[in-house]
Amino acid sequence: MNQSKPRVILTRKLPDTVETRMRELFSTKLNETDMALSRAQLEEVVKTADVLVPTVTDKIDADLIAAAGSQLRLIASFGTGVDHIDLAAARARGITVTNTPGVLTEDTADVTMALILAVPRRIAEGDALVRSGKWRGWAPTGMLGHRINGKRLGIVGMGRIGEAVARRARGFGLSIHYHNRKPVHRQTEAELEATYWESLEQMLARVDIVSVNCPHTAQTSNLLSADRLALMQPSAYLVNTSRGDVVDEAALTELLAKRHIAGAGLDVYAEEPKISEKLRTLPNVVLLPHIGSATIEGRLQMGDKVIINVQTFWDGHTPPDRVIEAML
């Protein structure tokens, strides 16, 4: 590998300390406006970058990779998910892809747990009522919600984040159920007193709260389809902090509007940042602006991982967070 400083191009603004360190180590071009690059701008930067540092807002598809110059050798994504990158196309061009796994687990689990609490207890509705000036004080039947203690939580995807959610939920008295490609380690299952469901359909019909924590892949796209969502109990709630494409958003909106599902807490959407007006006006939904990983500590750790991946790769070694073929 050429030992001169690589030309690193950032597609979005990162924390100042991260950008400063990258400028010290590499020949780094910053995005000072923090506006997502247009398609035309992305096509231009891949022609000159040795290393591209994109985020989830950048669609790095096969056509874009085909337009890249031969000098592009690394795509060091700032984020855990890689569903915005065509991994097969990158591999075919000999381009290494890295991500930043692990550092966002606790942050995303915190937001998931916050939504698990907020939706049944009508936290956002209560806040809106107080701010409106229409609250008339405490009443025995005012703003009645549902307790979560003693309820069944069904986790779709028991990876790092799913396990972190389960551990938090146990502290609130929820019993843990989960659907995964395969059961987790027996010791983990025993510690969480978790029940494994091979059939997603069977689990959805039996739990009180569904938490979506699986990554978005070809296999999980629209995993919670209209038919599967319809299996949920009318008293059940859905929380999604994974990716919007995992859930049929239109079907979920209709089921929520008809109260065939009691409520939902969403941090991700199918066509971010666009959200349908109907979904935005439903009172039984808590909507967050994709903040599952939005902590200062998490962003700094993500930046550190990107820097280590770039430096390790440029030094001629395998970067620690290389996305392996098994993820394809």
The contacts of residue 56 (CB under 8 Å, 6+ apart) are: 79, 81, 84
pLDDT at position 33 is 87
Per DSSP, the residues of 251-262 read HHHHHHHTTSS-
Kindly state the average pLDDT of the residues 193-200: 98
pLDDT digits (tens, 9 = 90+) for 76-90: 999 998 999 999 999
Does 91 have pLDDT greater than 80? Answer: yes
Could you give the percent of the chain with pLDDT greater than 70?
98
**What is the rounded end-to-end Cα distance, in angstroms, of the chain?**
26
Pick the catalytic residue: 147, 272, 280, 297? 272
Q: What is the pLDDT of residue 32?
A: 87
Looking at residue 327, its pLDDT comes to 37
Model confidence band, residue 326 (pLDDT cutoffs 50, 70, 90):
very low
Sheet containing 263-266, strands listed edge to edge, beginning at the edge strand earlier in sequence: 195-196, 175-179, 152-156, 209-212, 237-240, 263-266, 285-287
Residue 95, pLDDT score: 97
Question: In the chain, how long is the greatest CA-to-CA distance?
Answer: 72
pLDDT at 324: 77
In this prediction, residue 325 carries a pLDDT of 53
Q: How large is the average pLDDT for residues 156-168?
A: 97
**Active-site position among 12, 73, 290, 299:** 290
Q: What pLDDT is stored for residue 183 in this prediction?
A: 97
Q: Which amino acid is at 33?
A: T
Indicate if 93 belongs to the active site: no
Residue 245: φ, ψ to 5°: -70, -10
Q: What is the 3-state secondary structure (H, E, C) of 79-117?
A: CCCCCCECHHHHHHCCCEEECCCCCCHHHHHHHHHHHHH
Please give the backbone phi and psi of residue 272, each rounded to the nearest 5 degrees, phi first. -55, 140
In the chain, which residue ranges form alpha helices assigned H by DSSP?
16-25, 39-45, 62-67, 87-92, 105-118, 123-132, 160-171, 186-192, 200-204, 226-229, 249-257, 277-281, 296-314
At 67 the three-state DSSP class reads helix
Residue 10, beta-bridge partner list = 53
- pLDDT, average across residues 265-276: 96
Other CB atoms within a 10 A radius of the CB of residue 110 amount to 16
Between 218 and 14, the higher pLDDT residue: 14
Which residue type occupies 51? V
Give the CATH fold of the 105-287 domain.
Answer: Rossmann fold (3.40.50)
pLDDT in tens, 111-124: 999 999 999 999 99
Mean pLDDT of 264-291: 96
What mean pLDDT do residues 246-268 have? 98
DSSP, res 5: P
Chain-centroid distance of CA 199 in Å reads: 23
Which of 12, 73, 243, 299 does the annotation list as catalytic? 243
Strands 7-10 vs 27-29: parallel, antiparallel or unpaired: parallel
134 CB neighbour count, 10 Å cutoff: 8
- Rounded to an integer, the average pLDDT of 188-195 is 97
Domain chopping of the chain, boundaries: 7-103+295-327, 105-287
| DSSP state for residue 143 in the 8-state scheme | T
Work out the average pLDDT over 252-268. 98
Backbone angles phi, psi at 130, to 5 degrees: -65, -45
Beta carbons of 55 and 37 less than 8 angstroms apart:
no
Here the tokens at position 216 are: 């978005």
Residue 290 annotated to the active site:
yes
105-287 and 7-103+295-327 share a CATH fold: yes
Predicted local confidence at residue 284, as pLDDT: 96
What CATH number has the domain spanning 7-103+295-327?
3.40.50.720
Q: What is the pLDDT of residue 89?
A: 96
Which of 3-7, 20-24, 97-101, 312-316 comes out lowest in average pLDDT?
A: 3-7
Express each pLDDT in 204-254 by its tens digit. Answer: 999 999 999 999 888 899 999 999 999 999 999 999 999 999 999 999 999
DSSP code of residue 29: E
Alpha carbon distance 4, 243 (integer Å): 38
What mean pLDDT value characterizes the chain?
95
Please tell me the predicted confidence (pLDDT) of residue 4.
86
Q: Which two tokens stand for residue 26?
A: 């590499």
pLDDT band at 290 (very low <50, low <70, confident <90, very high): very high
